[in-house]
């Protein structure tokens, strides 16, 4: 496909950046620095760093979405948090190219790009691969949906000759054309963001875009036992590699084993614990090897990397009840994986769940708790939706605050049990973010222990 503009020659080109979160602001600065005539649009009346944008020569168009702004642009860079807009549809009908920030960034990157997506685990795997690159002494950038916008890798040592590790979301992948990772990783797909997509198929298709521009010299990494992920990878042109049961890199005889390289690490030596994290370790090790990271660095990172906050983070123990913070489990699939990670343990799980509903069924929670659960305590707007499906499986209580929920969960638990915050919902009914929610949980646990 021929672009209507030469992206390497931006001087004087009118570009509209829509959505002024972190990635939108970074894109606007990047484009302005290269001579584009940049207008930055947001539905809000005020945005962060407005003065800095104006000083960089960016024209601010705030408080709505004027269709004329969209149709007269020669390129639109659309931030992932922007919902469907009639103005975007009009621009598309007029033939204006519409890209995500990761698509824009990818046109200027020369290093080895490893992109990771999936419903669950992508932040952990992104951070783990980046840590492997660092351990190998490779100039390494980690970002994308994880935090630092991908556009900020452009011009760095990592962006020019090193390793670029990017977490990418379905929202970011909706608007890609030539985004071409050397290694593209799809960890899993389960129901999520059905408040954004018309149906599950639309969400799956967005995830599959990670493979769309890959060529025969590139690599697609997917779980060996997931036919949906395999099908998406096989529809592309890249060589397909698998992890998990019967995969190139799998857990076998108590060891993480790479059938191709000969790498072996005992499971008990892995720094990340639990079944989901064993798979995350397999995926990261496979992707890093395909990206050219030496085995010694992969091995050392697997036994030293301790994970990210609010992702199966052990908070503490009170009277032989252990508390885990998995506030990042913002969908049902992630919550179920967290619960199942304690199956076969000494005790059972008391689940704290709830928040802002994202669509989809909570039935899988019922199935997971039927065998592993001791009880559940529900908070937030979705509490009633979840309660009806669990009440005949385990004792269920509803509480108004996190402090009350932690106390109630502790009272339901028995010595040897686990109290697990795995909300299966987003945080935005009660909190600024999943991290804010996790911090509140940890504060409540500490207060309980001190009482």
- Catalytic sites, residue numbers: 122, 145, 193
- How far is Cα 299 from Cα 286, in angstroms, rounded to an integer? 11
Query: Using an 8 Å Cβ cutoff, are 110 and 146 in contact?
Result: no
Please name which of 50, 100, 55, 109 lies closest in space to residue 75, comparing C-alpha atoms: 100
For 397, other C-beta atoms within 10 Å of its C-beta total 17
Report helix, strand or coil for 105: helix
CA atoms within 13 A on the CB side of 230: 9
- DSSP β-bridge partners for residue 115: 166, 184
- How far is Cα 64 from Cα 41, in angstroms, rounded to an integer? 8
Please name which of 20, 30, 127, 28 lies closest in space to residue 73, comparing C-alpha atoms: 28
- How far is Cα 104 from Cα 176, in angstroms, rounded to an integer? 9
- How far is Cα 215 from Cα 273, in angstroms, rounded to an integer? 35
Six token digits for residue 3? 């672009």
Six token digits for residue 302? 């697997």
Q: Which residues contact 102 (CB under 8 A, 6 or more apart)?
A: 115, 144, 150, 166, 168, 172, 173, 176, 179
Burial of 235 (C-beta count, 10 Å sphere; 0-12/13-18/19+): exposed
Instruction: Report which DSSP code applies to 35.
Output: T
Query: Using an 8 Å Cβ cutoff, are 304 and 271 in contact?
Result: yes
Instruction: Report which DSSP code applies to 84.
Output: P
Q: Which residues contact 68 (CB under 8 A, 6 or more apart)?
A: none
């Amino acid at each position: 496909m021929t672009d209507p503009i030469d992206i390497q020659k931006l001087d004087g080109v009118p570009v509209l950046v829509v959505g002024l979160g972190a990635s939108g602001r970074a894109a606007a600065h990047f484009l302005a620095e290269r001579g584009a005539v940049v207008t930055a649009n947001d539905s809000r009346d005020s945005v962060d760093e407005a003065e800095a944008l104006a000083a960089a020569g960016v024209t601010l168009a705030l408080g709505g979405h004027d269709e004329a702004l969209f149709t007269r642009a020669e390129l639109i860079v659309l931030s992932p948090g922007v919902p469907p807009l009639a103005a975007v549809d009009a621009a598309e009908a007029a033939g204006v190219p519409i890209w995500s920030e990761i698509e824009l960034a990818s046109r200027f990157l020369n290093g080895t790009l490893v992109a990771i997506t999936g419903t669950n685990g992508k932040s952990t795997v992104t951070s783990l691969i980046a840590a492997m690159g660092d351990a190998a002494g490779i100039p390494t950038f980690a970002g994308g949906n994880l935090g630092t916008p991908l556009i900020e890798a452009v011009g760095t040592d990592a962006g020019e000759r090193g390793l670029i590790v990017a977490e990418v979301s379905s929202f970011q992948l909706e608007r890609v054309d030539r985004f071409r990772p050397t290694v593209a990783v799809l960890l899993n797909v389960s129901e999520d963001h059905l408040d954004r997509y018309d149906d599950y198929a639309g969400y799956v298709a967005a995830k599959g875009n990670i493979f769309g521009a890959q060529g025969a010299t590139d690599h697609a990494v997917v779980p060996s036992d997931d036919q949906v992920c395999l099908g998406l990878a096989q529809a592309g042109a890249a060589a397909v590699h698998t992890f998990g049961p019967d995969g190139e890199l799998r857990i076998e005889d108590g060891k993480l084993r790479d059938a191709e390289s000969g790498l072996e690490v005992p499971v008990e030596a892995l720094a990340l614990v639990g079944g989901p994290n064993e798979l995350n370790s397999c995926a990261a090790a496979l992707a890093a090897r395909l990206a050219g990271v030496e085995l010694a660095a992969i091995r050392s990172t697997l036994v030293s990397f301790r994970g990210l906050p609010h992702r199966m983070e052990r908070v503490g123990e009170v009277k032989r009840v252990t508390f885990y913070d998995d506030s990042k489990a913002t969908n049902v699939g992630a919550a179920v994986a967290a619960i199942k990670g304690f199956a076969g343990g000494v005790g059972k799980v008391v689940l704290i769940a709830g928040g802002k509903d994202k669509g989809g069924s909570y039935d899988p929670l019922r199935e997971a708790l039927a065998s592993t659960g001791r009880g559940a305590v529900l908070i937030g707007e979705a509490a009633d939706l979840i309660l009806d499906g669990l009440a005949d499986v385990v004792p269920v209580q509803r509480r108004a605050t996190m402090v009350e929920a932690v106390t109630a969960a502790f009272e339901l638990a028995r010595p040897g049990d686990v109290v697990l915050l795995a909300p299966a919902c987003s945080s935005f009914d009660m909190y600024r973010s999943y991290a804010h929610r996790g911090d509140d949980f940890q504060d409540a646990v500490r207060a309980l222990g001190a009482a």
